[in-house]
Amino acid sequence: MDAQPPLQPVAPIGVFDSGIGGLSILAALRVAMPREHFVYYADSGHAPYGEKGGEFVQQRSLTVAEALQREHGIKALVVACNTATTAAIGLLRERWPRLPIVGVEPALKPALLLTQTRRVGVIATRGTLESARVAALLSGLQHEARFVLQPCDGLAEAIERNDTPTITALSQRYLRELGKFGHAPGEIDTLVLGCTHYPLVIDTLIEQLPEGIELVHTGPAVARQCVRVLQAAGLQHEGREHAGEVIWRTSGEPAALQDAARRWLGLG
Q: Is 199 helix (H, G, I), strand (E, B) or coil?
A: helix
Q: Catalytic residues, which ones? A: 81, 195
Q: Is 76:101 a contact under the CB 8 Å cutoff?
A: yes
Q: How far apart are the first and last CA of the chain?
A: 36
Q: Is 37:9 a contact under the CB 8 Å cutoff?
A: no
**Strands 119-124, 146-151: parallel, antiparallel or unpaired by DSSP?**
parallel
Closest to 50 (Cα-Cα) out of 27, 19, 29: 19
Show the CA angle centred on residue 95, arms to residues 103 and 23, nearest 5°: 30
Handedness of CA 27, 31, 32, 36 (dihedral sign): positive
Q: Is 147:141 a contact under the CB 8 Å cutoff?
A: yes
How distant, in Å, are the alpha carbons of 19, 79, 109, 237, 262 from that of 15? 11, 6, 23, 17, 17
How distant, in Å, are the alpha carbons of 41, 106, 128 from that of 131? 23, 11, 5
Handedness of CA 243, 257, 93, 129 (dihedral sign): positive
Q: Is 13:38 a contact under the CB 8 Å cutoff?
A: yes
Closest to 108 (Cα-Cα) out of 191, 49, 197: 191
